[in-house]
Amino acid sequence: MTASAPSAVVVLTAAGQVLLVVLVLAAAHRPLGDHVARTLTSPRHLAVERAGYRLMRVDPDAEQRWSTYLLSLLGFSLASVVVLYALARLQSALPLSLGTAPFDPAGAWNTAVSFATNTNWQWYSGEQAAGHLLQMAGLTVQNFVSAAVGVAVMAALARGFARSGTDARVGNFWADLVRTTVRVLLPLAAVLALVLVAGGVVQNLLPHEAVTTLAGGTQEVLGGPVASQEAIKQLGTNGGGFFNANSAHPLENPTPWTNALQVVAMLLLPFALPRTFAVMVGDRRQGWAILATMSTLWLASVALLTWAELSGAGAVGRAAGAAMEGKEVRFGEAASALFAASTTMTSTGAVNAMHDSLTAPGGGVAMVGMLLGEVAPGGVGSGVYGLVVLAVVAVFLAGLMVGRTPEYLGKKLGREEITLVALVVLTMPAVVLVGTALSVVSGPGLAGLQEHGPHGLSEVLYAFASAGNNNGSAFAGLSSGTPYYDTLLGLAMLVGRFVPIALVLALAGRLASARRVPAGAGTLPTHSPLFVGLLVAVTLVVVGLTFVPALSLGPVVESLS
Amino acid sequence: MSTSTPVRPSSPVTARPVAGAPTVLSVRQLAAALPDALRGLDPRRLRRTPVLLVVEVGAAFTTVLAAIEPDAFAWSITAWLWLTVLCATLAEAVAEGRGKAQAASLRATQRETTALRVVAPPDTLEHTTGLAALPTQEVPSSTLRPGDVVVVRAGRTIPGDGDVVEGVASVDESAITGESAPVIRESGGDRCAVTGGTVVLSDEVVVRITAEPGRTFVDRMIALVEGSQRQRTPNEVALDVLLTSLTIVFLLAVVTLQPFAVYSGAPQRLVVLVALLVCLIPTTIGALLSAIGIAGMDRLVRRNVLATSGRAVEAAGDVDVLLLDKTGTITFGNRRASELVAAAGVPVERLADAAQLSSMADETPEGRSVLVLVKERFGLRERPEGELVGSTLVPFSARTRMSGVDLDGVDPRRVRKGAAAAVTHWVRSTGGHAGDDVAATVDAIAATGGTPLVVAEQVGDRPARVLGVVHLKDVVKDGLRDRFDALRAMGIRTVMVTGDNRVTAEAIGREAGVDEVLAEATPEDKLALIRREQAGGRLVAMCGDGTNDAPALAQADVGVAMSSGTSAAKEAGNMVDLDSDPTKLIEVVEIGKQLLITRGALTTFSIANDVAKYFAILPAMFAVAFPPLRVLDVMHLGSPESAVLSAVVFNALVIVALLPLALRGVRYRPASASALLRRNLLLYGVGGLVAPFVGIKLVDLLVTALGVLS
């Protein structure tokens, strides 16, 4: 295939693949969304859950005020970070370590934060640095619970909108956490893991073994509990691969159909949760609007990325004659583009191709996908609460234009609400821009760059966009395993995750104590196509505009060169 | 409401557009506001608007930069940054200036006068009779305190706000209301409140002062129109928070741009970065925000409505339920004759003639309306006095409930008109009887909420016979139905409140097109209704004038008190209508909505502008280092310098260009939220995207042609 004229067959295959994914998602989103909503609102506890509560010594029926909810969440996450840090530092002394060395302090901090924040940024190479115990007891466990934390925050926000005039009680964190894990994530992951094993993904506790091949050379045969981690890696929008090559590795993602399945898996919950949110706030139409906004942006990203990769524009494409460099032959450009768009739009961050090798516009689209704040569809739970925050901004901007005090989902938006929302919107750009700016002018920052010029800037911007938005995918060109980047990116992940969570929970508490206002003909309809268009525009303009100068010096220059 | 009869007939309701105030912005107005605008540059005064403070700090910074490294570009940017701040302060000064003239004329009413204060022990002053006869003492009006009692004679100015406790007088209130016709103020009723500065034209009243000097109605009004006590409204504060956070975001974007630029080998002049920052932050709405608020208040004052706070005006835009009194608001004050229904076998002309005769002695408004009807419908002119010589008028009395006339002469004839029961009784007393068809007509009229008046005549000594029935009904004001439909489209429910019985009330409610009717309503019912609506999360607006309205006025989210009403009502409400026109409530709601829409529209416009500014400035900054970026220069601007300058100039000029819109308010037509959003998004969102492309290009052509930068 030569430059800029993909054949009709290629385009049709690409479109067919997307259509297939969309059909599966469309079929699943209602039953799954309803199931999650039932999980979060059911008054009953399962026996296994009760055992968990007794173990943690918590009362799952006690309604928590938002501040208690937040403290529980932070306490849990802090404990997660500490446990992960200890596992990484002490792994050589623990069983199943496969002889791996302990992580250095900065690296352990980075990895601990990375997995506790649902980012799963990996500075290390999984097969070389992490033993099976760390992978199973540390990373895989966090893959479950960090995703459940996102769902918990979304549930609290939904309760904030649904409740009227309470004293800021937004549910019980422990119940939300445990139930989401037990009733949603574990069953889904178990099924998916079995299917992946059937597809050829490894699942054992064997060490990586060097064997002598027929030709006389040596080759490393890798083993490990891969499928079990792979399943939740995608379902929980985590993205941390068992191996360094992530979903490009044949033992993680062997065939085109496991590849398609992985794309479906990472999109499954993010696209189902708008339904959950809508059911919980008691207005299904609102869920459709959120879903439509997410779908529009995701489809746009898929289309742009596919176009970019297929037409092979940009420096890389021209040099190679096509954009296959850095991509897996068994997937091809279209499947790589679909995966890249989905992984950056969902905060998953798994990769099946090296994003550094995406065409310049393709890499730019992937970067913009993250810089929009991971809301379309975003991470598990975090996508919905992120987009609801933007919806509040949209309602406030445009809501005044219908001549009423803006209200969203029956709650009036005043100074306090807007302050909280504005701070959420501020946090991510601050983290990304300040981190990137520091790194491109400081010695240790520049030391990590593989290339200079616009592509070098893209690499750093991508890294901070990925960390600040808890995505975790990497442009790969950046050598980030240095104390400088480990520390700074760890900070970016921490701030990018928990500052918005704290603000969103504060918002939930405030909304829960506010009175619900009935909607009438004078209320701005937030379920119409017009509002969806507005929300798309606000997402692009309010969030996107901040990054235009930085993007113009990186991917834009690259694309135009 | 129904207890008061305004001296002036309330004006018929016409759906006049809200944007009716004189708004042409003259150069003279701008020049007059300039000194205030310059004073507004004081950073301490700009502290309240962080967006503008950032612009001013930026301007100061570029001044230093231009002084260190002077060239035409740096000085041009510096000059235009200062002009940007000046445009912003000018906008506020112009808005405030419009209130100043009004304040001056109001101050004229506050001339120091003297008052005749009644000298008596406090408990004597509690009385409501005999006060006028007590000894008085001449004191300066500024020494009066609440509780003091003064006597005001004809031709003297009322020294302060208060209630008439004794007497009745006609008062000239034109100084406050601009209305020249005098009004009646009397003790004991709902028309007892008087305002300081108004003049008693005839008679004499005793007034109990209710307001401290300096805190009177006129003082409040002056403070209001001058904007000196203007507090930012909740929505304004929330919008400010959003604008501030956008400013911080763009500050971050610009501050971090220099490291990126340094890394990319294209470090930027600081002047350019400041210019970019000022272009990106929402200066347009930041500059116009307070002008919009002041102008909104001003529009209200121009309609003779006085709000105690901007919060109330804003709440008016949010109102979900309007409580409207039937009498005076929905219907004209009195019932009117609307139809004549003749009895079987009686020519309707004969009925008309008899109805006219029998109403000659009826001085009630209903009686007069019968004369009007027969004149209009049957061409019967009023009979000359001479024709009725020798006849006896029988005036209406509450006891007989009939009026009529006894014509003597060759053909003696007695005509009666009155309540059905009374007239039927009279007919029977002469040996006659009312037909069944009349009874049916009477019932039918009563069933529709009308009042039937039966007309009968007795010729000679024959038994009297019923000629027919006059249909009296409440006449709904013209144009109300359309107005209520418009309100419904906006999501506002109208509830008609009346003391009438349910049948009557619902008939009128249907005719007027209100959504709900509260019949046989007592003040307590009204209060309960408001509480019920509020418990459901709805905002309620109402108007009232009586003391018994005060609790409801206080409970309502927007309570408009009639100026003709009692002090208690005026204290309880959060707005006072100087025209005492209950339909004004609808306009108040529209002004509140227009205020919010204007803010939202200009915010959207301001943010949408940023897209074009990026297209102007980014290629100008980086196309030298990265030539491919030249494709982003879609406007093909003259040079990098002129591109940056043009964006800054456009940014400043757009403030002045939008000032008239901010002062006038965006055009507002009642419509559903969806329709409003669609229209305004298209106009101000899409318009905001496109306009700067055109504007910046034009400025660039001018800058290049003038050679400012060469």
Task: For residue B280, list chain A residues with Cβ-Cβ distance below 8 A.
Answer: 545
Domain encompassing residue A406? 382-560
* pTM for the model: 0.85
Q: Strand B331-342's sheet: what is its strand order?
A: B331-342, B465-476, B451-459, B413-419, B402-407, B392-394
Q: What is the pLDDT of residue B1?
A: 36
pLDDT at B181 over 80: no
B675, B610 contact by CB (below 8 A)? no
A89, A103 contact by CB (below 8 A)? yes
Mean per-residue pLDDT of chain A: 89
Q: What is the pLDDT of residue A359?
A: 84
Residue B535 contacts A, CB cutoff 8 Å: no
Q: What is the pLDDT of residue B384?
A: 62
Residue with tokens 């002077």: B70
Q: What is the pLDDT of residue B482?
A: 84
Per the model's pLDDT, the better-predicted residue between A330 and B238 turns out to be B238
pLDDT at B11 over 60: no
The one-letter amino acid at B65: L
Q: What is the pLDDT of residue B59?
A: 96
Q: Is residue A421 part of a domain?
A: yes
Per the model's pLDDT, the better-predicted residue between A387 and A206 turns out to be A387
pLDDT at A398 over 80: no
pLDDT at B504 over 50: yes
Q: What is the pLDDT of residue A151?
A: 97
Q: What is the pLDDT of residue A172?
A: 96
% of chain B surpassing 90 pLDDT: 25
Q: What is the pLDDT of residue B29?
A: 78
Residue B261 contacts A, CB cutoff 8 Å: yes
Q: What is the pLDDT of residue B14?
A: 36
ipTM of the shown complex: 0.91
Give the model confidence (pLDDT) of A504-558 as tens digits. 999 999 999 998 888 877 788 899 999 999 999 999 987 778 899 999 998 888 8
pLDDT at B424 over 60: yes
A380, A237 contact by CB (below 8 A)? yes
Contact A425 B594 (CB under 8 A): no
How many angstroms separate the Cα of B186 from the Cα of each of A211, B127, B170, B171, B574? Answer: 111, 16, 9, 10, 24
Distant-in-sequence, close-in-space partners of B310: CB < 8 Å, separation ≥ 6: B230, B231, B232, B233, B236, B293, B296, B297
pLDDT at B6 over 60: no
B267 φ, ψ (degrees, to nearest 5): -60, 145
Give the model confidence (pLDDT) of B590-605 as tens digits. 888 899 999 999 999 9
pLDDT at B403 over 70: yes
Mean pLDDT of B235-256: 92
How many angstroms separate the Cα of B697 from the Cα of each of A506, B81, B589, B615, B634? Answer: 46, 19, 41, 11, 10
Cα Rg, chain B, nearest whole Å? 34
Q: Is residue A45 part of a domain?
A: no
Q: What is the pLDDT of residue A5?
A: 55
Contact residues, B window 368-427, toward A, CB-based 8 Å cutoff: none
How many angstroms separate the Cα of B474 from the Cα of each of A202, B326, B448, B502? Answer: 87, 9, 11, 14
Q: What is the pLDDT of residue B25?
A: 66
Mean pLDDT of B481-493: 83
Cis bond upstream, residue B384 (ω within 30): no
Give the model confidence (pLDDT) of A73-118 as tens digits. 999 999 999 999 999 999 888 888 888 889 999 999 999 999 999 9
Q: Residue B544 forms beta bridges with which residues?
A: B561
Nearest to B603 among A400, A423, A531 (CB): A400
Mean per-residue pLDDT of chain B: 83
Distant-in-sequence, close-in-space partners of B211: CB < 8 Å, separation ≥ 6: B146, B160, B161, B162, B196, B217
Distant-in-sequence, close-in-space partners of B241: CB < 8 Å, separation ≥ 6: A415, A418, A419, A422
Q: What is the pLDDT of residue B22?
A: 46
Among A367, A371, A402, A540, the strongest candidate for a mutation testing the B interface, having the largest count of B CBs within 10 A, is A402
Q: What is the pLDDT of residue B19?
A: 37
Contact B241 A419 (CB under 8 A): yes
Q: Is residue A225 part of a domain?
A: no
Nearest residue of A to residue B249, measured between CA atoms: A426
Mean pLDDT of B184-204: 81
Task: For residue A437, list chain B residues with Cβ-Cβ distance below 8 A.
Answer: 255-256, 259-260
Nearest to A430 among B252, B593, B599 (CB): B252
d(CA A316, CA B108): 80
Q: What is the pLDDT of residue B389?
A: 65
Q: Which range among A456-465, B13-22, B67-76 shows the weakest confidence by mean pLDDT?
A: B13-22
Q: Which range among A42-46, A314-318, A342-346, B618-622 shows the weakest confidence by mean pLDDT?
A: A314-318
Q: What is the SS3 assignment for B531?
A: helix
Q: What is the pLDDT of residue B250?
A: 93
d(CA B438, CA B444): 10
Number of domains, chain A: 1
CA angle B606, B611, B613 (to 5 degrees): 85
Distant-in-sequence, close-in-space partners of B189: CB < 8 Å, separation ≥ 6: B3, B4
Residue with tokens 């520390």: A487
B89, B41 contact by CB (below 8 A)? yes
How many angstroms separate the Cα of A458 from the Cα of each of A308, A493, B200? Answer: 17, 18, 81
Task: For residue B492, list chain A residues with Cβ-Cβ distance below 8 A.
Answer: 520, 522
Nearest residue of B to residue A417, measured between CA atoms: B238
Nearest residue of B to residue A438, measured between CA atoms: B259
Range among A75-89, A212-226, B178-192, B629-643 rated most confident: A75-89
Place B18 in a pLDDT band, splitting at 50, 70 and 90. Answer: very low
Nearest to B596 among A393, A404, A542 (CB): A404
Chains A and B: how many Cβ contacts under 8 Å? 208
Q: At what angle do helices A284-311 and A382-399 cross, to 10 degrees?
A: 100
Place A3 in a pLDDT band, splitting at 50, 70 and 90. Answer: very low
pLDDT at B480 over 90: no
Range among A146-160, A201-215, B30-44, B82-96 rated most confident: A146-160
Residue B237 contacts A, CB cutoff 8 Å: yes
Q: What is the SS3 assignment for B230?
A: coil
Mean pLDDT of B67-84: 94
d(CA A358, CA A325): 8
d(CA A528, CA A184): 30
Residue B206 CA to chain centroid, in angstroms?
Answer: 32
A376 φ, ψ (degrees, to nearest 5): -135, 85
d(CA B519, CA B521): 5
Q: Which residues of B are catalytic?
A: 325
Per the model's pLDDT, the better-predicted residue between B81 and B333 turns out to be B81
Residue B693 contacts A, CB cutoff 8 Å: no
**The length of chain B, given as a count of residues:** 710
Q: Strand B321-325's sheet: what is its strand order?
A: B305-307, B575-577, B558-562, B540-544, B321-325, B493-497, B516-518
Per the model's pLDDT, the better-predicted residue between A415 and B215 turns out to be A415
d(CA B133, CA B540): 46
Q: What is the pLDDT of residue B13?
A: 37
Contact A560 B631 (CB under 8 A): yes
Give the model confidence (pLDDT) of A145-174 as tens digits. 999 999 999 999 999 999 988 888 999 999
Mean pLDDT of A207-229: 81
% of chain A surpassing 70 pLDDT: 96
Q: Is residue A200 part of a domain?
A: no
